[in-house]
Structure 1
Amino acid sequence: MSADRRTIGFNFLSQPELPAPRVSEQQAERLLAEHYGLTAGAVSLGSQQDRNFLVTAADGTIAGVLKVANPAFNATELAAQDLAAELIANAEPHLRVSVPLPNTTGEKYTAVDGLVDTTAYVRLLRHLPGGTLLESGYLAPAAVAGLGDVAGRVSRALADFTHPGLDRVLQWDLRYGADVVAALLSHVPDVALRERIDAAAREAWSRIDALADALPRQAVHLDLTDANVVVTRTAGAVVPDGVIDFGDLTDSWAVSELAITASSVLGHPGAGPTSVLPAIRAFHRIRPLSPDEAAAVWPLLVLRTAVLIVSGAQQAALDPDNDYITEQADEEQRMFEQATSVPIDVMTAVLVADLGLDTPAPPLRGQLIEPTRVTTLDLGPLSDAYDDGRWQRPDVDDETACAALTDSTGVAVSEYGVPRLSRTVKLSQGSPDVVATGIDMWSASEIALQAPWDGEVVRATADEVTLRGVDHEVTVIGARRNAPLGSLTTGAALATVAPYEAVRVSVRPVGAPVAPPYVSADLAPGWLALTRDPRPLLGLTPTTPVPRPDLLARRDASFAAVQEHYYRTPPQIERGWRHHLLSTAGRCYLDMVNNVTVLGHAHPRVADTAARQLRKLNTNSRFNYEVVVEFSERLAATLPDPLDTVFLVNSGSEASDLALRLAMAATGRRDVVAVREAYHGWTYGTDAVSTSIADNPNALATRPEWVHTVESPNSFRGKYRVADAARYAADAVRRIDELIAAGRPPAAFICESVYGNAGGMALPDGYLQQVYAAVRAGGGLAVSDEVQVGYGRLGSWFWGFQQQDAVPDIVSVAKSTGNGYPLGAVITSRAVAEAFRSQGYFFSSTGGSPLSCAIGITVLDVLEEERLQDNAARVGGHLKRRLVELAERHPLIGTVHGTGLYLGVEMVRDRHTLEPATEETAAICDRMLELGVVIQPTGDHQNILKTKPPLCIDVEGADFYVDTLDRVLSEGW
């Protein structure tokens, strides 16, 4: 582009210095009074080349934004901007658009002389409330998609807009990006950074220049970034829906709109290269990209970040007192670092694949070894080779391969493009490098590798050789090199593979970047597009992913949707180990919610017990076998007298339902007193006494007449708080006495011994003692629901009621009893148990089966041998201390409930009003999942982080949870 080309509007290449006009707030206020008839205050806003002021009227309302345009911009350019804003406002009624407000003479802009050295144009623009995305920290995928949606709508609206004021040469127009970088690069003081910017801009421009003629042009806003897209803020999210600042409007490549928009995402905390994909998808849905445009997006984005840094450096020199420029420098540096952290071709392939615009690669031909028997190893996330936690062993893949080599002629190979679970990382906030970009090969005997095609050996070391052919390069690492540098013909000796030694083989198209051996799942589509499956060189068919229907769609088609799943877009979890969950993408998550698996996932003792018992017998408890007796004895021995008689069932709902039936049978009554905000199960009886509106929004209105509720003893946000919480017991006693006096004495009082639905909140001291005494005085029984809290989770107590120094008449328990196997129990006195004979008999087909009892015994053994109750006390104490300290720094945390490993982190918007932070909690859980932590909300307001991990969690895992939560609360969600 020639610097002297005549344009109707501004030409940056001929006038590359644009210091912002120096206009004071007092001068701005005079302009408002003189030209708009407003007596208002003006506060300077950030801007690089113009001068902007927020205008506040005398009554405190915001009257608009006063924009003093840089004197370099003329009236024709401003007219185009005003018309474009009005066009978008009319074409896209769902978008809010900052259009100009008329001055006292009805004009949209005012020419002012004497304000600066030459004529300047002043406009008062409509203020859009809500703020911009620039003011947000981390941008959730929904917000990023919203940003792309806005850009797509603006691009669609401006597709046919023309105006003389679009004839400009702007430094932000990426058609001139290479020229701008070259002109301003010297302003960057850091030599190393300057060299990197220069190299990145040149590489990006080489890709853009090859596509330039195929890129359609139109009017573009050219600055739909986080700074110029206004949002509507909700409690847990931001919704981009407004557009401001048309100062960079011009005619350019249409795809520039998207590239500039997407680039701004990279400046936010927690953003990586693939964070832009939701914006690109959203733009593409509204204004579809051609394959050429899709190929141009990432090089344009890289060029944009380079332009930002050099422009910022120049402007800082021109306008050193402009705080806006210096404040943006760190964000722009972060954008450049993220944009260049992955090769351009890789990110281009990622987004092309994401949009479904990719094309299959041609088949690979050639022969690396003589025909032989080859065994393909399963080293994917579901492989049996990784059972019992073996995925953590560094030599597990070698062991698996060598075990598969059953004769001296065999060769074993891994699969290409499949996540390798042995490569995953525990306790990582980032996506690990697990997807193989090549294959590994093992041989039972020494074998020779041969050149699969004519080519040139371009790299040769003792254990590595690369052969470059016409179309592809093959690299072998770990074999003894035979070929020297230079030409090689098909079939010539390339390298020798030693027996039982892993050799890595990778293939890539000539000119493609060298791929790491393993890459993250999010970048895998890009790297795999730039590599080839080497398996055909061994006489094997390529590893081809089998298209499978979306798992959630399959679930909804056959599995009743009322059975909800965690997260809107959940990872597919097919494996667990201790306090970790592993996805089919090879990601390892810290499990902070799975109180069912008290010992931890996939405990080998439980698995071995189940396998042994299933080889012998599994039937029902009407048969005479020892294990049901032993488990019942062991379970009863954990409880105080007179709780010595056991019923075995399959779940917590069944256990608590049976507990109520026992109480009704023993007392001959039907009325039950339950605590509000509690959840006890899904059967008719347990649902009747469950009053948690989180589980059933109609819970309080649909109680049967035989259920009577008492106030939730919530000492944090309930009727009585802190020291007054002791009054809950008195109120509950009063309610029971009223029922007795009315001739309806309750059969039972049922309560969780620690208030689970409130996030593990302890009951007020003495609560159970007083209420138990009252119900017993009326001839009723006390039922302790220990389904969640029992089995040592509290650390200092094996059973929750022990914390209250109270003994119930009936205990129901499940979840922990089988470590995930369906096993529940009810323990009561002999007298209560015998009274059930009035109802006939009790039988549960698999409750008390040999298998369930054998597992139940094993769980009790492991709890004791691995000292998991002690671990709950030690790690739980450490975890709570750290969470309490976190609350001191983050006011969103209202309090931390619980003890041991039965905790709840309650989120509030205001510590005085205790307004629940419901939406924020849901968004925090989504962000925590992105960072490798599985956590879910609980409570009637769904504002408590349910913190109930397996009891085997260690201090390292606890710290990872707190550190990740700290990051989310600091960066945003």
Structure 2
Amino acid sequence: MKFLRAQAPTLSADFAASVAEAEFGLTGRLSPLYSERDQNFRVTEANGAEWVLKIANAAEPDAVIDCQIGALDHLASVAPQIPTPRLRRTRGGDGIARITDPDGAAHRVYVLSFLPGAIASDRSLGAEDFARIGATIAGLQRALRGFFHPAAGNRGLLWDVREAPKLRDRVHHLGALAPAAGELIDRFAAEVLPRLPHLRVQTIHGDVHGHNLILGADGGVTGIIDFGDMFHGPAILDLSDALSDFMPDARDPAGMWEAMTHGYNAVQPIEPAEIDLVFDLMVMRQLVTLVITAARAAESPDEPDYIGEHGFGAPAALEAMMTMGRGRTTALLAAAAGQSAPAPRQPVAALMERRRKVMGSRPYVFYDPPLHMVRGDGVWLHDAEGRRFLDCYNNVPILGHCHPRVADAIAAQVRILNTNTRYVGEQVLEYAERLGALTGGELTACAFVNSGSEANDIAWRMARAWTGNRGFLCQEFAYHGITEAIDAVSPSAARKAPMADHVRTLLAPDGYRGIHRHGTPDMGRLYADDADRAIRSLAEAGMKPAAVIVDSAFMTNGILEPCPGYVNELFAKVRAAGGLCIADEVQSGFGRMGAHFWGYQHHGATPDFVTIGKPAGNGHPVGVVLTRPEIFDHFLEQTAFFSTFGGNNVSCAAGLAVLDAIRDGDLMRNARETGALFKAGLKDLARRFPIIGDVRGTGLAFGVELVRDPATLNPAPQETDRLVNLLRDEGLLVGSEGVHGNIVKMRPPLVFGVAEVEIALGALERALLRL
């Protein structure tokens, strides 16, 4: 890693004096100042003026030095009250002098003003001092908010805790502490690093500690020095690094943390998401310092150990942090920042008891025992115990949990305006136009609601209004929503209620265990012929079909792959009988099936309605019916239609952000290619484990059917339940589905990648071995 060996320049004082005079017109007495990786001299002129001559490390790029000088110039301009060094330019007016030493090596040299006062670490510091220091750090941060330099980004800097995983192979230098250190780094990489991109970022000093802070006689801060570790990153690292680095200077670490946090927050209010990570960041800063110190002692013992000599990276400091613990520390910091301390987590059993009292006696939850999730990011969910789970099940966050583009769009819009469509607005129009264009311009009229259930309900009402009929067709084990009208075509949700008299179910086109198997000629037409039976049955009861509703991925029927000709034939039969066709795209749309944006397009069919919900807002409530303008207009002639929240500004901002993210991230292609890789891996497992009877899926939607006997196809529902829970124990979240409850159901987010496929397949293999 860069700078693991500091290798600071070692020019003689005489040569440095000649450079100071020749390049900067600076003469006087030189005395060495320690720097970790540069070479510094204090220069005292005859008139008493003092400067610091800095000879940069040969491994430091020119751009990084330019960045430091640019930051100091920026601070002098926008915040002259902050005591930072001022640049002395060369005789020629440049910021940096380029020299060659007597051995022919090239160096960059620059000069800064020397700031008088006492090193903070040489003082006995109390709560008031630490509060002032916290306020100073925040003030410096606010002043740097408007500064950016390309060299501040992606530095790969040794002391940036985000680089901690790169030190993983050096924890062995810590001896007995090595195993615990490795676990801490692994957990940091898995659970903390993914959350950092969601925090506020800017250019920060990154290294304010007792040896980079100068205090006056009255205790006030008279200097902030050493901008060599400056980088662009999460703003909270300025505080968390300082809280960790000031440990050697604090008689009462907890009191120091509290005072410094309070002082910082008074100038720069801390966000709850930042407070929640400060403890983890402090621990990692302390651990990084420990590893670097130990690695340098072992790998470059000839270099000075300035860090260790001044108390940084002491095992006792790390132990003190761990003894204090995450919960107590976070509560203390939250209080210091004027925030409510996180409530103690209740056991799952206690939460379930509370839930039964207020949410019904039959809790509908995943897994046994249930999971208490507290946070999500991307493809991961995190529970109250700090464990993370790879999410292969929740289709609502189609872009992954807490997608920053959607979250930012929602947050920005809710601060501006959120009202209903009785006012004219541009966002709802843009969203409607873009959705209509994605149907190829066939369905361009949009009715905005709040969920897939509502969308299906409105589509049904429109179909009845257009046709004058009242019969409804659906698949035999379908699910389409919770309104009274749509619950009637959701037989998979029924416990005891009989089918409504106006509903007829259709055979699902299941080529694995259905009445027509794979390889049967014209299988799609044969399954579609079942619609004739259903339509005749309606006729015998004096009804014609108003609509048929189809989930293009047949999720509840077992995630069935498109059966050539089936949907087209089915739609033709229903239309011939006077009905319309609804494509329920809640689970199959938005590119999930890979080759097309909408699921129905995989069947080569054209519906009269497209209904969307869940994934449309990546978790924000959005529902839309897309149909032909004449159908919508006919409906509006018969009834008033308005949804208070449907099409509101925030929902449309979320919906547009989802469309943008799918387009800009090329996520349909990812669903197609990653899905093919995942499916190939599942089929390989099927060849090795006979309990897997069938693997099917399109894009990033999969069904793995478990059977006790591959010959008789005897379903294995108990084994499926056990496998789902074994996978939970492996950190992989899946569900179960199908009329027999024997299908493992997987619908990972569209950002699922190759690495996640490998994790999921590994977990499946281990769980199958234990089944």
- Shorter-chain TM range is 0.5 to 0.7
Report deviation, 1:944: 1.2
Contact 1:749 1:775 in 2 (8 A): yes
| Equivalence for 1:696 | 494
Match of 2:671 among 865, 872, 882: 872
Report deviation, 1:606: 0.7
Match of 2:416 among 590, 608, 616: 616
Matches within 5 A, 1:254-403: 371-372=126-127, 386=195, 388-389=197-198, 398-402=237-241
Matches within 5 A, 1:463-542: 496-497=310-311, 505-507=317-319
Query: Does the alignment pair 1:768 with 2:563?
Result: no
| Equivalence for 2:556 | 757
| Equivalence for 2:612 | 813
Report deviation, 1:702: 1.4
Q: Which amino acid aligns with 1:707?
A: V
| Equivalence for 2:227 | none
CA distance in 2 between partners of 1:711 and 1:845 (Å): 38
Report deviation, 1:620: 1.0
CA distance in 1 between partners of 2:716 and 2:356 (Å): 30
| Equivalence for 2:403 | 603
| Equivalence for 2:602 | 803
Query: Does the alignment pair 1:919 with 2:715?
Result: no
CA distance in 1 between partners of 2:232 and 2:733 (Å): 26
CA distance in 1 between partners of 2:531 and 2:329 (Å): 72
- SS of residue matched to 2:447: strand
Higher helix share: 2
CA distance in 1 between partners of 2:441 and 2:702 (Å): 29
CA distance in 2 between partners of 1:809 and 1:532 (Å): 55
Q: Which amino acid aligns with 1:703?
A: M
Deviations 1:921-965 (A, max 9, x none): 111111111111111111222211111010000011012111110
Query: Does the alignment pair 1:711 with 2:497?
Result: no
Range with greater deviation from structure 2 (901-910 or 708-717): 708-717
Report deviation, 1:818: 0.5
CA distance in 2 between partners of 1:535 and 1:627 (Å): 40
Q: Which amino acid aligns with 1:636?
A: G
Deviations 1:247-296 (A, max 9, x none): xxxxxxxxxxxxxxxxxxxxxxxxxxxxxxxxxxxxxxxxxxxxxxxxxx
Contact 1:441 1:502 in 2 (8 A): no
Report deviation, 1:439: 5.9
Contact 1:461 1:481 in 2 (8 A): no
- SS of residue matched to 1:616: coil
Q: Structure 2: state its 5+ residue gaps.
A: 1-122, 139-186, 202-230, 262-272, 287-292, 298-304
Deviations 1:420-474 (A, max 9, x none): x99x9xxxxxxxxx998996788xxxxxxxxxxxxxxxxx99999xxxxxxxxxx
| Equivalence for 1:863 | 662
- SS of residue matched to 2:588: coil
TM-score (norm 2): 0.60
Q: Which amino acid aligns with 1:906?
A: E
Q: Which amino acid aligns with 1:401?
A: S
| Equivalence for 2:3 | none
Query: Does the alignment pair 1:654 with 2:450?
Result: no
- SS of residue matched to 1:637: helix
Report deviation, 1:611: 1.1
CA distance in 2 between partners of 1:894 and 1:780 (Å): 37
- SS of residue matched to 2:545: coil
Report deviation, 1:551: 2.9
Range with greater deviation from structure 2 (553-562 or 889-898): 553-562
Deviations 1:757-794 (A, max 9, x none): 13321242111111111111122101111110011000
Q: Which amino acid aligns with 1:709?
A: T
Q: Which amino acid aligns with 2:625?
A: V
CA distance in 2 between partners of 1:639 and 1:825 (Å): 13
Report deviation, 1:850: 0.6
Contact 2:380 2:390 in 1 (8 A): yes
Deviations 1:342-384 (A, max 9, x none): xxxxxxxxxxxxxxxxxxxxxxxxxx9854356899x999999
| Equivalence for 2:45 | none
CA distance in 2 between partners of 1:394 and 1:589 (Å): 30
Query: Does the alignment pair 1:933 with 2:732?
Result: yes
Q: CA 1:790–1:946 in structure 2 vs 1: closer, same or farther (change >3 Å)?
A: same
Report deviation, 1:707: 0.8
Range with greater deviation from structure 2 (740-749 or 901-910): 740-749
Q: Which amino acid aligns with 1:960?
A: I
Query: Does the alignment pair 1:677 with 2:477?
Result: yes
CA distance in 2 between partners of 1:621 and 1:711 (Å): 41
Q: CA 1:395–1:891 in structure 2 vs 1: closer, same or farther (change >3 Å)?
A: farther
Matches within 5 A, 1:952-963: 952-963=751-762
Deviations 1:553-611 (A, max 9, x none): 33333333545121222332221111111223222211001111111111111111111
Q: CA 1:405–1:844 in structure 2 vs 1: closer, same or farther (change >3 Å)?
A: farther
Query: Does the alignment pair 1:903 with 2:702?
Result: yes
- SS of residue matched to 1:952: coil
Q: CA 1:551–1:741 in structure 2 vs 1: closer, same or farther (change >3 Å)?
A: closer
- SS of residue matched to 2:574: helix
Q: CA 1:462–1:860 in structure 2 vs 1: closer, same or farther (change >3 Å)?
A: closer
Larger radius of gyration: 1
Range with greater deviation from structure 2 (901-910 or 379-388): 379-388
Q: CA 1:860–1:440 in structure 2 vs 1: closer, same or farther (change >3 Å)?
A: closer
Q: Which amino acid aligns with 2:573?
A: A
Match of 2:467 among 661, 667, 673: 667
Contact 1:440 1:505 in 2 (8 A): no
Deviations 1:291-341 (A, max 9, x none): xxxxxxxxxxxxxxxxxxxxxxxxxxxxxxxxxxxxxxxxxxxxxxxxxxx
Query: Does the alignment pair 1:829 with 2:628?
Result: yes
Contact 2:700 2:747 in 1 (8 A): yes
Match of 1:551 among 343, 348, 351: 351
Q: Which amino acid aligns with 2:476?
A: R
Q: CA 1:544–1:387 in structure 2 vs 1: closer, same or farther (change >3 Å)?
A: closer
Q: Which amino acid aligns with 1:697?
A: R
CA distance in 1 between partners of 2:279 and 2:647 (Å): 44
CA distance in 1 between partners of 2:484 and 2:501 (Å): 14
Matches within 5 A, 1:145-184: none
Count matched residues: 522
Q: CA 1:565–1:667 in structure 2 vs 1: closer, same or farther (change >3 Å)?
A: same
Q: CA 1:850–1:395 in structure 2 vs 1: closer, same or farther (change >3 Å)?
A: closer
TM-score (norm 1): 0.48
Contact 1:896 1:904 in 2 (8 A): yes
Matches within 5 A, 1:623-634: 623-634=423-434
